[in-house]
């Protein structure tokens, strides 16, 4: 089992969905993805929080075996995001962003942390993503996430980071912005020529597609009766994915496919509660149960023609 290093935002979120609203709940891409990855592998989290960050939240992360030595505490406020969702929960509407201490975030990877082989660069400014990569001595598998904002305002830098990654996670809008391709499959193949040998396209409620060199795989999303709050679904997916790969340490199509399923399963918990509440309460027993249900739902019988 190998370790995973995760860099991204640690935040307090104000959330409003058709199911209710909560303010200042623990969130941020690094938080969701670290909690998810920690189900499978040891995690080193890299981030910054303000002096308003609660000790109990730090304790929560540590109780999941997440190493928070590289989460620095600075004078000022923790990154704050406030947003709402309407009935179409695929779209987050931002009401307020207060970068706080995140604005001057300067990630320093020290000592043995530089040697962690599995690296997840959550969707932060590509300059920061590059800075982290340059400090790693021998990354074996680098997974990149990004968002429309970074593609729009700093594409050249993002393309440089992309060239140094093994796998990129995108949605349909991001693939279009990055490659100019409307057709998902053509877009994924175009991305494979821009650096990462492997591409994951997240399709929300329709699951996730994995494009390897010369092969393709689809894992449908877990069918859910209700979604309480979609915040962090993508981060959870990516965190569970890299955690699963790190656990088995092999970069075979089989393990990558299983990791996509793990991503879908874990993300299905995140969206059934506000913020990180359900993912923080998830354990292997619950996950195994959902995996059994999932296989019943998604297993493809052989057909006889």
State which residue, 55 or 88, has the beta carbon closest to a second copy: 88
State which residue, 42 or 107, has the beta carbon closest to a second copy: 42
- Least distance from a second copy to the Cβ atom of residue 217, Å: 6
- Least distance from a second copy to the Cβ atom of residue 34, Å: 18
Binding residue for a second copy, selected from 83, 107, 220, 249, defined by CB under 8 A: 220
What lies within 8 Å, CB to CB, of 304 at 6+ separation is: none
Binding residue for a second copy, selected from 182, 197, 250, 281, defined by CB under 8 A: 182
Applying CB under 8 A, does 96 fall inside the site for a second copy? no
Applying CB under 8 A, does 213 fall inside the site for a second copy? no
State which residue, 65 or 149, has the beta carbon closest to a second copy: 65
Q: Are 10 and 28 in contact (CB under 8 A)?
A: yes
Q: Are 145 and 122 in contact (CB under 8 A)?
A: yes
Distance, in Å, from the CA atom of 285 to the CA atom of 290, rounded to the nearest integer, reads 9
**DSSP letter, residue 79:** E
Applying CB under 8 A, does 301 fall inside the site for a second copy? yes
Tracing tokens 């920690």 back to the chain, one arrives at 38
Tracing tokens 């918990």 back to the chain, one arrives at 269
Applying CB under 8 A, does 216 fall inside the site for a second copy? yes
Q: Are 85 and 230 in contact (CB under 8 A)?
A: yes
| Burial zone of 117 (CB within 10 Å; 0-12 exposed, 13-18 middle, 19+ buried) | middle
State which residue, 32 or 244, has the beta carbon closest to a second copy: 244
141-145 vs 118-121, strand pairing mode: parallel
State which residue, 74 or 181, has the beta carbon closest to a second copy: 181
Please count the residues of the chain.
305
**Binding region for a second copy (CB under 8 A) out of 26-34, 95-103, 210-218, 268-276:** 210-218
**Alpha-carbon separation of residue 242 from 111, 129, 201 (angstroms):** 22, 16, 15
- Least distance from a second copy to the Cβ atom of residue 292, Å: 10
State which residue, 75 or 285, has the beta carbon closest to a second copy: 285
The token pair at 245 is 């790969």
Return the residues of window 255-294 that contact a second copy according to CB under 8 A: 257-258, 261-262, 265, 284, 287-288, 291, 294
Tell me which H or E stretch contains 69.
strand 66-73
Binding residue for a second copy, selected from 53, 79, 244, 274, defined by CB under 8 A: 244
Q: Rounded to the nearest 5 degrees, what angle is found at the Cα of 127, between the Cα atoms of 80 and 71?
A: 50
Applying CB under 8 A, does 86 fall inside the site for a second copy? no
**Binding region for a second copy (CB under 8 A) out of 19-27, 93-101, 219-227, 272-280:** 219-227
**Binding region for a second copy (CB under 8 A) out of 24-32, 101-109, 202-210, 273-281:** 202-210
Q: Are 187 and 179 in contact (CB under 8 A)?
A: yes
Q: Where on the chain is the footprint of a second copy (CB under 8 A)?
A: 87, 182-183, 185-186, 203, 206-207, 209, 215-220, 223-226, 244, 248, 254, 257-258, 261-262, 265, 284, 287-288, 291, 294-305
């Amino acid at each position: 089992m190998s370790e995973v290093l995760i860099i991204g935002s640690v935040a307090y979120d104000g959330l409003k969905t058709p199911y209710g609203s909560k303010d200042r709940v623990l969130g941020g891409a690094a938080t969701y993805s670290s909690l998810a990855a920690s189900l499978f592998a040891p995690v080193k989290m890299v981030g910054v929080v303000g002096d308003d960050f609660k000790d109990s939240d730090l304790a929560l992360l540590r109780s999941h075996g997440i190493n928070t030595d590289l989460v620095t505490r600075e004078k000022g406020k923790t990154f704050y995001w406030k947003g709402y969702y309407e009935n179409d929960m695929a779209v987050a509407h931002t009401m307020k962003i207060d970068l706080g201490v995140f604005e001057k975030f300067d990630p320093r990877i020290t000592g043995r942390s530089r040697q962690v082989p599995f690296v997840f660069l959550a969707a932060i400014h590509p300059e920061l993503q590059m800075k982290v990569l340059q400090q790693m001595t021998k990354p074996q598998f680098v997974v990149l996430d990004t968002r429309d904002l970074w593609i729009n305002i700093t594409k050249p830098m993002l393309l440089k980071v992309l060239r140094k990654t093994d796998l990129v996670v995108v949605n349909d809008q991001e693939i279009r912005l990055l490659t100019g391709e409307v057709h998902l499959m053509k877009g994924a193949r175009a991305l494979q020529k821009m650096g990462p040998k492997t591409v994951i396209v997240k399709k929300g409620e329709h699951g996730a597609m994995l494009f390897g060199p010369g092969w393709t795989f689809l894992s449908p999303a877990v069918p859910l009766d209700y979604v309480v709050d979609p915040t962090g679904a993508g981060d959870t997916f990516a965190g569970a994915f890299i955690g699963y790969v790190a656990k088995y340490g092999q970069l075979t199509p089989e393990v990558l496919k299983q990791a996509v399923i793990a991503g879908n399963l874990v993300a299905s918990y995140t969206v059934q509660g506000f913020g990180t509440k359900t993912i923080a309460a998830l354990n292997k027993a619950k996950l195994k149960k959902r995996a059994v249900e999932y296989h019943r739902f998604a297993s493809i019988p052989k057909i006889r023609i």
